C-alpha cells in the first residue's frame, strides 16, 4: 500500500514570509526582496526570448549565463553551477555530499531552510547556538560534519563574519563549507578570494536580492571544478528556463544598474538605522538589505509586528529563541521606510 515515508510525515515544512495576493496594497518588508525594479535590459531580454523560442527546451548547461558569471567573478566556467534559485543549489549540495545519517552543521539562528533540507534527506542536524555577543560568535561544532552551512552575512541578524574567520572554519572542517552569500553584495567584504586557498569552500549566490529578481529564481554556486562536476549530475537537466537564463545574463551584465541599486539600498539602510536608534530601538549593525531591530523597555516585538500588520506593513517576526525579542525589517524605498518610521513613532 502507498505510504508516505516516516520522516516526511513528521517533517515541519519551511515557512516562507507572507506573499500578498495580486492587487493587495501592502508595504512589503518581510522577505528581503529589492524595492527597485531590475535592469531594463532584463525586460528586453525576456521579450526577445518569448518572441518565438519558448517552444524549444533551454540550454541544459546554461552556457552563456555561466560564461557571464565566470567573467564577472573571475572564475573558470567549469567552477560555476547555476540553479533554480540558490535554494536549489542548497538541495543539490545535500544530494551530492551527504548520505542518510550524515551530520550537517549551521549556526542557529541562520537560514532555517538548511534544517528543513537536512530533515528531508534524513541527516543529523548539528546547530551551533550563536550566543549573545554577535561580534564574537562561538567557534562552531565541526566534529564529523559532511557539510557546514554558513549564512554570511547572517540572516536574520545581519552581521558578517570576516574572511579570516571563515577561512579558519574551513581549515578545521573535514567536509564542505558552504558559504551562503545571498546578501554579500550589501556587505563590506565577501569570501570569493578564499576559493583560491580553501579547496573545501563552495560559495552560493542569488539574484533574488541584489539584482531584484526574486520572482525569476536564479542562483549559482562557485567552487572547485572537481566538486561542481559532480553537483552538475544531480540537478534537473533543464533546471533554468530560457527566460531565466536570458534575464539573468542581462541583469548580471548591466553592472551600472546593479551598483546604483545596491548603493540606494545602502544609503536608506544607514539613514533608517540612525532614525530607529534615535527612537530608542536597538538596531544591530547590518551588512545586508535588512535590519534586525529590538524594541527597548516594555514594548514587545510581537505587538509591534501585529500593529504594523494591521496597518498594511509586513515585517518578519520569528517566534524562536534568540529572535522573538526583535523584528527583521527589509530595506524598502525611502518612501516606504518613511511610512514605517511614521507608524512606529505613534506607538
At residue 296, what are phi and psi to the nearest 5 degrees?
-100, 165
Q: Compute the distance between CA of residue 324 and CA of residue 300 in angstroms, rounded to an integer.
A: 9
212 contributes a contact to ligand PLP by CB under 6 A = no
Candidates 98, 108, 146, 151; binder of ligand PLP (CB under 6 A) is 151
85 contributes a contact to ligand PLP by CB under 6 A = yes
Within 9-48, the residues that bind ligand PLP by CB under 6 A are 32
* CB-based closest residue to ligand PLP: 85
86 contributes a contact to ligand PLP by CB under 6 A = yes
Q: How many residues bind ligand PLP (CB under 6 A)?
A: 13
Mask of contacts with ligand PLP, 263-302, x by CB under 6 A? Answer: ----------------------------------------
Q: How far is the CB of 89 from ligand PLP (least distance, A)?
A: 8
Cα 116 off chain centre by: 15
User: CB-based contacts of 142: which residues, under 8 Å, 6+ apart?
Assistant: 105, 148, 169, 172, 173, 174
Within 94-113, the residues that bind ligand PLP by CB under 6 A are 111
| Alpha-carbon torsion (259, 209, 224, 153), positive or negative | positive
**In this complex, which beta carbon is closest to ligand PLP, that of residue 113 or of residue 281?**
113
190 contributes a contact to ligand PLP by CB under 6 A = no
Q: How far is the CB of 185 from ligand PLP (least distance, A)?
A: 12
160 contributes a contact to ligand PLP by CB under 6 A = no
Q: How far is the CB of 151 from ligand PLP (least distance, A)?
A: 4
Spatial strand order of the sheet with 282-283 comes to 282-283, 290-294, 327-330
Candidates 39, 98, 206, 245; binder of ligand PLP (CB under 6 A) is 206
330 contributes a contact to ligand PLP by CB under 6 A = no
Judged by CB under 6 A, the stretch of 83-91, 98-106, 274-282, 338-346 that binds ligand PLP is: 83-91
Q: Compute the distance between CA of residue 57 and CA of residue 238 in angstroms, rounded to an integer.
A: 7
Amino acid at each position: 500500500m502507498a505510504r508516505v515515508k516516516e520522516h516526511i510525515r513528521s517533517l515541519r515544512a519551511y515557512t516562507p514570509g507572507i506573499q500578498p495576493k495580486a492587487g493587495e496594497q501592502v508595504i512589503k518588508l518581510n522577505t528581503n526582496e529589492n524595492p527597485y525594479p531590475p535592469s531594463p535590459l532584463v525586460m528586453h531580454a525576456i521579450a526577445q526570448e518569448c518572441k518565438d523560442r519558448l517552444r524549444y527546451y533551454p540550454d541544459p548547461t546554461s552556457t552563456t549565463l555561466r560564461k557571464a558569471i565566470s567573467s564577472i567573478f573571475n572564475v573558470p566556467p567549469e567552477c560555476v553551477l547555476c540553479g533554480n534559485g540558490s535554494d536549489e543549489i542548497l538541495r543539490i549540495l545535500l544530494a551530492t555530499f551527504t548520505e542518510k545519517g550524515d551530520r550537517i552543521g549551521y549556526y542557529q539562528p541562520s537560514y532555517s531552510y538548511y534544517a528543513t533540507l537536512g530533515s528531508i534527506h534524513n541527516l543529523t542536524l548539528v546547530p551551533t547556538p550563536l550566543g549573545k555577543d554577535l561580534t564574537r560568535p562561538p567557534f562552531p561544532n565541526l566534529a564529523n560534519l559532511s557539510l557546514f552551512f554558513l549564512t554570511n552575512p547572517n540572516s536574520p541578524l545581519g552581521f558578517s563574519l570576516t574572511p579570516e574567520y571563515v577561512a579558519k572554519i574551513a581549515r578545521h572542517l573535514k567536509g564542505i563549507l558552504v558559504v551562503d552569500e545571498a546578501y554579500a553584495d550589501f556587505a563590506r567584504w565577501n569570501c570569493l578570494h578564499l576559493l583560491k586557498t580553501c579547496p573545501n569552500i563552495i560559495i552560493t549566490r542569488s539574484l533574488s536580492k541584489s539584482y531584484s529578481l526574486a520572482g525569476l529564481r536564479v542562483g549559482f554556486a562557485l567552487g572547485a571544478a572537481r566538486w561542481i562536476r559532480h553537483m552538475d549530475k544531480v540537478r534537473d537537466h533543464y533546471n533554468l528556463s530560457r527566460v531565466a537564463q536570458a534575464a539573468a545574463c542581462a541583469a548580471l551584465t548591466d553592472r551600472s544598474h546593479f551598483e546604483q541599486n545596491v548603493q540606494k539600498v545602502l544609503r536608506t539602510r544607514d539613514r533608517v538605522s540612525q532614525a530607529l536608534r534615535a527612537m530608542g530601538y536597538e538596531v544591530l549593525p547590518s551588512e545586508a538589505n535588512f535590519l534586525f531591530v529590538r524594541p527597548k523597555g516594555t514594548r514587545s516585538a510581537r505587538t509591534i509586528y501585529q500593529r504594523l500588520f494591521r496597518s498594511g506593513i509586513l515585517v518578519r517576526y520569528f517566534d524562536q529563541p534568540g529572535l522573538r525579542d526583535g523584528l527583521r525589517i527589509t530595506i524598502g524605498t525611502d518612501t516606504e521606510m518613511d511610512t514605517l518610521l511614521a507608524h512606529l513613532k505613534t506607538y
